[in-house]
Structure 1
């Protein structure tokens, strides 16, 4: 951890609002075709749609999203413990509509990369000049072949896509008897929101200390150590929640039985009253369907970080959680990547080259107790030698300790990124 201080962090955390005031100056050239289709209406897709219209209102932008609204994963852990309501994280697409974005409530079912067409679940087809894929994550069944059906997320919810799963886990936690055991896991990195599982463990431990004092939470981490904010979460686990929380690192999961709420692991079999199973993750299915998943793990799409263009098809882009650039998979980072991608597309429409040295950043707050939060941040800069995004080490850090002031700033940060992405 560096000496990166709170003032520097707050400047980065609020940087999303600054970009909106600085649209890039475009030439007067009129493109022959300016159709952009975006698949996925999370932070990546929504930000891309907004800034395409903000930076060049002549671009024809269509956002394809099966849900009527978006439930943000940001702050969603607080819904599980009842600290906030689901309405607090329910984000409307009306702001995008007001900017001229066409919202199509449907599921993208097929992509023709040669004919530049997208097939939808409503039977229609969309043509595109540029296609942005931003479907977020999908999950890998934790069970071995032949035992896949033993895992059922409706019985052992992941709550790693906010919405009905969040409510399901909240209700299970509320119904858990005093003296019960809450078992959760941390998936193998990379996964969506690096601090998220540890944050969830902390606030559920806080909830148990207040509501169900004889209960405990067991955290099974697939990684060899805490992935994000190791000082903050390590201190919370070993001191703040030493009695309530049991943490195990480097744990492999061999089988989950959702009906019985049992989990077989490399440290033994466990039974739970509530089993919060967060599977390992991969790119959204439509990215596989498009044929652009090509990283060495077979889970993510390799892209050119100058544009976020696929290395397979030059007019297909992948932003947010589904891409493979080794940057954190987070809402803030998705927002940042979307702007780099959109800047490249708007330049391409008028015959300009992409920014040769883009910068992205990821900043977030994490609730540690019911009244205190921490923060972490990192800036990434394009390295022309390796053609990759490299973390700027002086920008990397976490808060010295949680505080009530950070807890208040957490909501301002969330509202800022909500507005910058969806309004």
Structure 2
């Protein structure tokens, strides 16, 4: 490879700008026919071509095996070649997708159907795996300490830890696990919330809260309200009520879709309350108090309470590892500030530490598809750095998601993001790459209809996204 030429990853990113599912698989096209190193799975059934970059002796540690971490590990090997050793650190044997997890609540899916093993990262791409959690970072020594007492050295460190959830509204982590599940991390709490909803009767009230933005998956809470309402009026009776207490002043994503859903499709069931504040929840009784936009205190007796509490980057609170390393330099100390060209932390420029996904402040939504895109930009930048090059000066990313509104219909939202060198942020781009139209910022494109066809397409999109991330 001529080191004066950009790494193939840059071209691949431009090929995945179109709406998500159909083009995710195209992300490896430029490598075919260029690589001459073969990595064969243990079964011998699959051969993956790694890029022949000439890089040797480089070590990358990736912390966190979610959407961002898995994608970064895979593409660092795929684009970096056999000379880039990648170790993925995560304590869990499988990844449980948050995407599609709201469908567990109406019985359409199971938690098991959302679980993905990381075996292919090892067998197909040669990613090393370490079952542990991060405890500390020694940025000066380029070394991390793990929960099993081991230490790993690195040339580059990629952090994709995800989010943790605050104690809020008078609730504790124990309340979330046992009585008032937020289920904003798919797993046991999702199952618990499903059980609580299934036990409701006609006339019961379901109350959910939405924290102030930014939070993980902007349309997700509104999608959840719709699916719960659809299930209750179908399975329990017409007198159930879903109350949505939104700390934001308006719907945060797919506004047309969810206004239609709240006011027409689920009219009489969903009561949407924007600008709610001062929320207090009694976990034992299910009584919820809040102050509405008029300043009036309201009280609701709920059968099921589903608080989505404020959240932050893992390790950013108190004496957590991110806070100790000084990486939580984003708003309110909750997030990591990053250079959007490489995702290297802006707290320690030149440290070789990169932060991805929900933990970072990027100007893009905190969402699974976005995490996949960010990971590719980061992997490309790291490979370029190993080759003595600067990062791509004009990265492009796509955000795409589907939102089920009933058990058989859905909407979708998509946007193309381009790097703005003046603001050093990723911004939504319209046709021709414009980030403004007549002086106003370009906006995401939303489906004009809520349809069964969108629901079917959602399954294809999800399957393709997960295959690109973990397969």
Is the aligned partner of 1:391 residue 2:415?
A: no
- CA deviation after TM superposition for structure 1 residue 11, in Å: 3.7
Is the aligned partner of 1:103 residue 2:129?
A: yes
Q: Which residue of 1 aligns with 2:26?
A: 18
Is the aligned partner of 1:52 residue 2:106?
A: no
Distance 1:329 1:174, change over 3 A: same
Q: Which residue of 2 aligns with 1:4?
A: none
Q: Which residue of 2 aligns with 1:157?
A: 181
Provide the secondary structure at the position in 2 that maps to 1:103. strand
Normalising by structure 1, we get a TM-score of 0.93
Q: For residues 23-172 of structure 1, what are the structure 2 equivalents within 5 Å? A: 23=31, 28-31=53-56, 33-58=57-82, 59-98=84-123, 99-143=125-169, 149=172, 152-154=175-177, 155-172=179-196
- CA deviation after TM superposition for structure 1 residue 122, in Å: 1.1
Which of residues 365, 370, 376 in structure 1 aligns to 2:402?
365
CA contact (8 A) 1:9 1:363 kept: no
Deviates more, 1:342-351 or 1:54-63: 54-63
Q: Alignment RMSD, CA only?
A: 1.9
Distance 1:149 1:165 in 2: 14
Query: What's the CA shift string for 1:225-244, capped at 9, x where partnerless?
Result: 10000000001001111111
Q: Which residue of 1 aligns with 2:218?
A: 194
| Structure 2: tracts of 5 or more residues without a match | 1-15, 35-50, 293-297, 316-320, 432-442
- CA deviation after TM superposition for structure 1 residue 379, in Å: 1.1
Q: Which residue of 1 aligns with 2:272?
A: 247
Distance 1:149 1:49, change over 3 A: closer
CA contact (8 A) 2:21 2:460 kept: no
- CA deviation after TM superposition for structure 1 residue 151, in Å: 7.2
Q: For residues 330-349 of structure 1, what are the structure 2 equivalents within 5 Å? A: 330-349=367-386
Which of residues 177, 186, 203 in structure 2 aligns to 1:179?
203
Is the aligned partner of 1:270 residue 2:310?
A: no
Query: What's the CA shift string for 1:173-212, capped at 9, x where partnerless?
Result: 1112232111011211110001100010111111011111
Q: For residues 205-354 of structure 1, what are the structure 2 equivalents within 5 Å? A: 205-213=229-237, 214-267=239-292, 268-285=298-315, 286-313=321-348, 314=350, 315-354=352-391
Query: What's the CA shift string for 1:133-168, capped at 9, x where partnerless?
Result: 10111112214xxx5649720210011001111111
Distance 1:10 1:240 in 2: 30
Distance 1:412 1:194 in 2: 21
Q: Which residue of 1 aligns with 2:40?
A: none
Distance 1:66 1:142 in 2: 26
Distance 2:394 2:231 in 1: 45
Q: Which residue of 1 aligns with 2:439?
A: none
Distance 1:355 1:184, change over 3 A: same
Distance 1:218 1:28 in 2: 55
Normalising by structure 2, we get a TM-score of 0.84
Equivalenced residues, count: 412
Q: Which residue of 1 aligns with 2:43?
A: none
Q: Which has the larger radius of gyration?
A: 2
Distance 2:128 2:412 in 1: 36
